[in-house]
Structure 1
Amino acid sequence: MEDLMSLKFTHGGNIRKFREQFGKKNVIDFSANINPLGPSQRVLDIVRRDYNVVVHYPDTDCEHLRKELAQYYDIDAKNIIVGNGSTEIIYLIARTLCPKKAAILVPTFSEYELALNTANLKFIKRLEKDNFEFPDNKVFEEINNVDLLFLCNPNNPTGNLIPEESLLELTEIARKKKKFVILDETFIDFCLARSVLEQAPENKYLIILRSFSKLWGLPGLRLGYAAGHSQTIGLLKKYKEPWTVNALAQKAGVESLRDKEHFDKSVRLVKNESRFLFEKISKIQGLKPYPPSANFIFVRIIADISSKELYFRCGRKGIIIRDCSNFRGLNNKFIRVAVRTRSENLKLLKVLKESLNGKR
């Protein structure tokens, strides 16, 4: 098995790197799963209007945003902590709870593993022969042997949803056995699947992660949050650095939650375009897409070409895809593409076909 040092974890979305790498000013980024509509216009307006707040320190407790989130989810503000992206909270959880033994279901978001680098880690594998579906029995068995389990629902990069019945059973088992389940629901709004966030305030051993980067289109402002039992959230706050969430990000978060029209429009677009893109990729010889549940499509390369070579061929044409070879549990035959607008998706399809046919 690969060790932590042998895997070179990277992420999509590095526009500066892509432009330098391919010598192109204009690229279309399918490597990062961001709302193709971007942030709400109301958010952009509020950031432009209130830019002068940068002369003051931000509210370290993010009180206004936490109250807005509490109203949005019908829970108490004491059950919410806000961070500099959900990634800050992932690391905060790891160093606060300090699990001796932890488990991660792979392939998945690499920051879970990096955050838990001092724990004795167990990797539970989603298997290709099972279409990367949730391995109920393995997870239920392993929860007995660890202090903490990280899960992603829908999973990144495979796109699988955890069956609702399995998830509810797992969170109840964890509560009874006093094992922490950290459930990352960053992409759940795109598929309108049932969240278990409403359970978090009553379960000391369940923490739900959410982000403003994906559906709300604010990755550059770095804004995320977690919901959990008040005692668990209170413990996390003791270990959290002050002022990690800037004032403009807090204002953008509040305004995002208030713009239901943008939310609904974004979900409709992604639903329609993910269906379109899946159907079209399915017809490209040499590719096998997996049914999407969020705003990205996980694809196996059947053709005689590696994910790295396909990445470079597409990149030279101004299309950036995600090479998934550095996800633990995957090899160089998998890619991931974000769902974008129809015109952008058509360009992606054209470039994928050309690249698979040897056109560089």
Structure 2
Amino acid sequence: MVSPVVVIGGGLAGAAVATRLARTGQAVTVIEREAGPHEKVCGEFLSVEGCQDLAGLGLPPEHLGAVAIDRVRVLHRRHAVEAKLPFVARGLSRAIMDEALLDMARKAGAEVLRGVRVTGLQGTRVLTSAGEYEASHVMLATGKHDLRAMPRAAPATRDGYVGFKMHWRLSPRALDALGSAIELVLFGQGYAGLQRVGTREANLCLVVRRQHFAELGGTWDALLARLMDEPGLASRLGDAQPLMARPLAIANLPYGHMHRPSGDEGAVWRLGDQAAMTASLSGDGMAVALRSATLAADLFTRGATTAQFHRLLAAQVGPQVRRAMRLQRLSEHPLALALGMQAARACPRLLTLGARATRLPAYEATKA
């Protein structure tokens, strides 16, 4: 089978780039390994840039039931600091968002294949469980999952991170206390983020150093027990009902990764986490994925090369990734964390400034 553009992965970056390319009349095939709606390990925090990008596609997140988030509350042990965000963000389940984007890609004219697994990639020849595709260009948008046929997006590190996600139904009391804030619980070896993603539903997403997770016993129950030692989180989840049989988990998260082309990569474009993986503490991961799709579609239609795309994407998102990584590292250093909390308690506006400093710049079409 022949398809000029094959997009591997139907998440945010893959569905968005397929939609944009299909709207220009380009023949696009999207290959998504999951057969139906599914959740992903994700904070589900749509920052202002991500909201703008979705609205630009014709899919304002509030039309999908996204919950407004306009405050940030940082908790560490018995201390809490709250400040207004410099923008209105949104909380929305990835299962809802990704399905809406895939449906939009289909309506734009892209062919969307569900439940099909890519088994190999030879140049731009895509081998799948449903047959082979000859493509002129491949958009690799597999998120945090590497394609076995390709070199790893980033090497695993001994002291990497493990990520977890669990949806909860909060009590009316806990919902009122959470309000329109995202709560960030800093515990030294990682952090947990809690926010609403529905009328009564909240998402708890957290990352923890792999070594610390192992020291706790290497189980979700042990990690959750450790988190419940944090008074703020315990007050929210003490009477909450888990909405998943077990949490989603992912290991070896290479935060700070920026793809640097090595040699001739041909016509393979890396999007989303395959291209750049910002610190999740900044809440801009989905915005980076959507930005990569916007830039890839823009440059593709103007005949740019993959090397030009990766270079320009690094220039646009690289500063955000570096600032976010510095913030995440400081949050794990005991002295820096203590001093940071002390400073934030004295001047809560520092949280507002920190949120503003870790945003992506406004998108501008760049000459290839």
Give the TM-score range, shorter chain: under 0.3
* Greater fraction of residues in helix: 1
After TM superposition, the score normalised by the length of structure 2 is 0.27
* Greater fraction of residues in strand: 2
After TM superposition, the score normalised by the length of structure 1 is 0.27
